[in-house]
Amino acid sequence: MKNILGREIPESIQGYGAVKPFKGAFASLGEIEKKSVAIKPAVPGEKKVLASIQEAISKCNMKDGMTISFHHHLRNGDYILNMVLEEVAKVGIKDIKVAASSIFPVHAPLVQHMKTGVVTGVYASYMSGPVAEAISRGELKNPAIMHTHGGRTRAIASGDLAIDIAFIAAPTCDTYGNINGVDGEAACGALGYAVADAIYAAKTVAITDNLVAYPACPIEITQEYIDYIVQVECIGDPKGIVSGTTQITKDPVGLKIAKMTSKVIETSGLLKDGFSFQTGAGGTSLAVAAYVKELMEKKEIKGSFAAGGITGYLVEMFEAGLFESIFDVQCFDLKAVESYRKNQKHQGMSASMYGNPHNKGAVVNNLDVMILGATEIDTDFNVNVTTGSSGMIMGGSGGHSDTAAGAKLAIVVTQLVKGRLPIVVDGVTTVTTPGETIDVLVTERGIAVNPKRQDLIEKLEAANLPVMTIEALKQIAEGMTGVPEKIEKDDKVVAVVEYRDGTVIDVVKKIKD
Amino acid sequence: MKNILGREIPESIQGYGAVKPFKGAFASLGEIEKKSVAIKPAVPGEKKVLASIQEAISKCNMKDGMTISFHHHLRNGDYILNMVLEEVAKVGIKDIKVAASSIFPVHAPLVQHMKTGVVTGVYASYMSGPVAEAISRGELKNPAIMHTHGGRTRAIASGDLAIDIAFIAAPTCDTYGNINGVDGEAACGALGYAVADAIYAAKTVAITDNLVAYPACPIEITQEYIDYIVQVECIGDPKGIVSGTTQITKDPVGLKIAKMTSKVIETSGLLKDGFSFQTGAGGTSLAVAAYVKELMEKKEIKGSFAAGGITGYLVEMFEAGLFESIFDVQCFDLKAVESYRKNQKHQGMSASMYGNPHNKGAVVNNLDVMILGATEIDTDFNVNVTTGSSGMIMGGSGGHSDTAAGAKLAIVVTQLVKGRLPIVVDGVTTVTTPGETIDVLVTERGIAVNPKRQDLIEKLEAANLPVMTIEALKQIAEGMTGVPEKIEKDDKVVAVVEYRDGTVIDVVKKIKD
């Protein structure tokens, strides 16, 4: 069958089940149900601290076929996922589904566990590195399931993703399970992606290298949700956790795109007191932030909030008084961690509060402007950030689809051509984010506005910005590169791309050898 | 039938249903289930701020028979409960069940709503004043259901108390529903009792007199849980909300009891680094805190935390460095509000985190010493804080049963005789807290230790403290007052007293005219 975007999708996928096809970004927002949770209460006097991960596996009754979860705040410095799976493999447990909020190159040992059948399923909102490549090659028994950050919490709360045991990497944890991410050697700041796991998992194990006396302070995840605690030598490599602030691009093409983007924002009418803003950590995105900063300072605009994964650059804007506050689901660098630790108005948020479409209102719903990247964008404005044009998985939505759906103005910024391939294409290799939620594409050669935003087209044209159709941009790109050849794909579905509401927006097929 | 304490309880109660008899404080801690929640998600662009309470009632589809909830952080200054019920009555809705975390004299208009059939049921953890008296006289159609603070959140999470619409008095609320209790004219501090309502109610309405721009900061209850917001002129009378710090008793009998209690604590062996402590706001309880403070200073003891409803006196101990931190479910005075606003280590907690027996570990489980009051205590150490000896409801557990169950040393402090009536009796008029969770009774004439605590009896005797049996204390009391006459009661059950696990520990019968 085809979904509403015309993507060919099986009605049922082996190892996934029946497919609910994507029907539009806001088509599934009727009454919903958050699942019930069965837990074992703690009796006064019971101790939670165990001697080892092995003991936790045993106390939690881990069995073949279970789903275990991890969060990715330690990013490419995370030791926990590998540490736990090594112990799982040792005791001979098989057929485990790993629900990691994201997977990085550091998680390469997972490939071996896929080969031996220890791990047969993977859920992630983003994946890059050897695991993503192995999945693309068809080495995982069941198709991987790829969520958005908000969609992951929706899936957990609804029971679509039922977690048997959550393992929470805890930079600081007290002896009764109160956790924060701001202290300890592996301090990573906000722990927003781990909250739903803690609340909805049947069993939750905190793993920490900084076990402190009761009670910890501050507390990001409370004792109410933690069954057991294991102390280990080290939960992660700080160098991989917070990589230092990404730099604003120095590339003239990137700067040209950023400057034009800032003009689009200015012209949109949204840049006024109360302005809210989110951008990623890429060099061009940060350059947009820099130009927006200039504009805000010049016009003396006081914004309401910046949100998202937070970089030092957004902290600087906040500390300069340009934003009233910050909503932080994850800190990208040490400056963000430090600000989150000390500034009351640098507030944490759970991934559900950030982007879950199935709660009474996520933070993304209040975003004025979101700056997004793209690996490909097609003439319907559908964006791919999941696969390269070869079909290899090298990313995933993360918050891409969530913020695009929520923001009043969702802008994709990209060069027209990368690595000799056109970025604007007839049909993207994989749809991550539906075009109906993208308002504008800004490239170095011109600006394309989604035809549903006639109001914006008029404003940008009146301001003499280089507006053209997205088809025109595609032709310019193809004029530079030629029309790319269609890649051949195998029939096997290696990953199912779920939109934030749990419908299937696309599938990823096995790459041909 | 009789429950394990020998209380005569019907097997089924009209307007309540089948009775699960109390079987012991820790008898019901097997696997439990937190209920599912059906909600209507918010679509981007939807506004939450409504024009009036009337509009909120209409938007929430309030109907005959529904359960609506309120929290009591505004205490005897609360305007919200009366305001909402007045509107409910106006539109002709009947048969409403009011789940207020506590009810105060200010809520007197509720009596009229009981008479007209607008309100036919009441849930509360504490009630005093005209409503309590009317219920005692049998003027409510169905029996009132009285919880503990922790038990109320258990009931809400389990679905035993299913809330259709929660009305949350919000001292500060932003336009998308983020709430705090620290700013605004009606600032009351921590909002711990309202958290479960927000999470589990089908619909939640925030009512505020301080509507601020998005986003509020700090945030105690998030936008994820709020459907609608109504702005009103005034949510409460600050004079009734925070009454100013209660004074340490000057009564020599009270001081004698307090001094003796501090010696019991010292002798117990618990008064050492890491010590944790909770006490109420009564004059004798505060005097205990004052003596404990002296001891801690003399011995240079650094405690871990103080918890509970927080008074300025506990804040002083915290600020003097005697406790590492505070856990606060509700602020009792302005000094506590101020400290909660400014001190990071003065941490808020939900009522569930505070005392819910059905989570993975409440704060009460980590209490070393709890100082409790009593209206009556019987020779099995069962305590009544629900009714006067006449059978009139004039209180309720609040956190009494929760803290007694959790604390390593639960001490009841009371004069032996009050108002010419003995406090130590053969059988209490109503059991609020089971004797198995009470360790010690301290009176001005001597100390009685629960026989199950032989270890403590030995320690106190070795320290030459005036230990005697509770029967001996009863005889001394009766020697002063005579044996009180048994009061006659009607057969009608006017209130069901639920223990924190939802079993029925006692019932309150209608008082005889």
pLDDT of residue A483: 87
Of the candidates A409, A464, A463, which has an alpha carbon nearest to the alpha carbon of residue A441? A409
Interface touch A224/B360, C-beta < 8 Å: yes
In the predicted model, is pLDDT for residue B34 greater than 70? yes
Q: Is A241 in contact with A74 (CB distance < 8 Å)? A: yes
Q: Percentage of residues in chain A with pLDDT exceeding 90?
A: 93
Query: Which residues in chain B have Cβ-Cβ distances shorter than 8 Å to A360?
Result: 39-42, 177, 204, 223-227
Region B280-286 average pLDDT: 88
Q: Percentage of residues in chain B with pLDDT exceeding 90?
A: 93
Higher-scoring residue by pLDDT: B370, A485: B370
Residue with tokens 């302070």: A217
Interface touch A364/B44, C-beta < 8 Å: yes
Nearest to A225 among B347, B360, B406 (CB): B360
Q: How far apart are CA B163 and CA B202, in angstroms?
A: 7
Distance from CA of A222 to the nearest CA of B (A): 8
Region B404-421 average pLDDT: 96
Distance from CA of A359 to the nearest CA of B (A): 5
Please state whether B189 falls in left (phi above 0), alpha (psi between -120 and 50) or beta.
Answer: left
Region B251-268 average pLDDT: 97
Distance from CA of B489 to the nearest CA of A (A): 37
Residue with tokens 């079987």: B23
Helices (H), B137-282: 149-158, 195-200, 238-241, 252-268
Using pLDDT thresholds of 50, 70 and 90, give the confidence band for residue B473.
Answer: very high
Query: Which residues in chain B have Cβ-Cβ distances shorter than 8 Å to A436?
Result: none
Q: Which residues pair with B206 in a beta bridge?
A: B168, B229
Q: How far apart are CA A363 and CA A37, in angstroms?
A: 25
- How many beta-carbon pairs under 8 angstroms link A with B? 180
Distance from CA of B344 to the nearest CA of A (A): 7
pLDDT of residue A239: 84
Query: Which residues in chain B have Cβ-Cβ distances shorter than 8 Å to A176?
Result: 361, 365-366
Interface touch A37/B34, C-beta < 8 Å: yes
Using pLDDT thresholds of 50, 70 and 90, give the confidence band for residue B244.
Answer: low
Tokens representing A179 are 């956790």
Cis peptide before A434 (omega within 30 of 0): no
Residue with tokens 């009512």: B207
Nearest to A35 among B36, B39, B204 (CB): B36
Q: In what order do the strands lie in the sheet with A489-498?
A: A49-50, A228-231, A203-208, A165-170, A67-70, A96-100, A119-124, A144-146, A489-498, A504-511
Region B278-293 average pLDDT: 93
Of the candidates B162, B194, B151, B19, which has an alpha carbon nearest to the alpha carbon of residue B97? B162
Domains of chain A: 42-241 (3.40.1080.10), 252-488 (3.40.1080.10)
Q: Percentage of residues in chain B with pLDDT exceeding 70?
A: 99
Q: How far apart are CA A385 and CA A399, in angstroms?
A: 11
Interface touch B215/A325, C-beta < 8 Å: yes
Q: How far apart are CA A463 and CA A444, in angstroms?
A: 17
pLDDT of residue B247: 83
If one counts every other C-beta atom within 10 angstroms of the C-beta of residue A65, the result is 12
pLDDT of residue A245: 54
Nearest 5°: the CA angle A383, A389, A393 is 85
Q: Is A174 in contact with A183 (CB distance < 8 Å)? A: no
* Element (DSSP H or E) covering residue B505: strand B504-511
DSSP string over B30-51: S-EEEPPEEE-PPPTT---EES
Region B417-432 average pLDDT: 95
Of the candidates B496, B432, B398, B435, which has an alpha carbon nearest to the alpha carbon of residue B148? B398
Region B467-482 average pLDDT: 96
Distance from CA of B164 to the nearest CA of A (A): 15
ipTM of the complex: 0.96
Interface touch A359/B37, C-beta < 8 Å: no
Helix, coil or strand: residue B133:
helix
Tokens representing B337 are 């509000």
DSSP code of B73?
A: T
Query: Which residues in chain A have Cβ-Cβ distances shorter than 8 Å to B26?
Result: 43-44
Q: How far apart are CA B455 and CA A389, in angstroms?
A: 74
Query: Which residues in chain A have Cβ-Cβ distances shorter than 8 Å to B31?
Result: 38-40
Cis peptide before B10 (omega within 30 of 0): no
Using pLDDT thresholds of 50, 70 and 90, give the confidence band for residue B486.
Answer: confident
Distance from CA of A367 to the nearest CA of B (A): 10
- Which of B59, B224, B275, B329 is the best residue to mutate to test the A interface, defined by the most A CB atoms within 10 Å of its own CB? B224
Query: Which residues in chain B have Cβ-Cβ distances shorter than 8 Å to A223?
Result: 353, 360-363
Nearest to B213 among A31, A32, A304 (CB): A304
Interface touch B364/A44, C-beta < 8 Å: yes
Helix, coil or strand: residue B433:
strand
pLDDT of residue A281: 82
- Which of A200, A203, A301, A360 is the best residue to mutate to test the B interface, defined by the most B CB atoms within 10 Å of its own CB? A360
State in Å, rounded, how far the first CA of chain A is from the last one.
26
Q: How far apart are CA B68 and CA B66, in angstroms?
A: 6
Q: Pick out chain A residues at pLDDT < 50.
A: none
Tokens representing B475 are 């005889």
Q: Which amino acid is at A44?
A: P
Tokens representing B140 are 């409510």
Q: Which amino acid is at A36?
A: S
Q: What is the pLDDT of residues B67-92, one digit of tens each?
A: 999 999 999 999 999 999 999 999 99
Q: What is the pLDDT of residues B153-212, one digit of tens each?
A: 999 999 999 999 999 999 999 999 999 999 999 999 999 999 999 999 999 999 999 999
Region B48-58 average pLDDT: 98
DSSP string over B165-183: EEEEEESEEETT--EESSS
Interface touch B177/A305, C-beta < 8 Å: no
Helices (H), A186-274: 195-200, 238-241, 252-268
Distances (CA, A) of A413 to A277, A374, A394, B55: 15, 7, 19, 43
Region B214-242 average pLDDT: 95
pLDDT of residue B243: 65
Crossing angle, helix A252-268 and helix A454-462, to 10 degrees? 110
Of the candidates B105, B155, B158, which has an alpha carbon nearest to the alpha carbon of residue B134? B105
Beta-carbon contacts of residue A377 (< 8 Å; ≥ 6 apart): A383, A384, A412, A414, A423, A424, A425, A428, A438, A441, A470
In the predicted model, is pLDDT for residue B114 greater than 80? yes
Distance from CA of A90 to the nearest CA of B (A): 28
State in Å, rounded, how far the first CA of chain B is from the last one.
26
Crossing angle, helix B252-268 and helix B283-299, to 10 degrees? 40
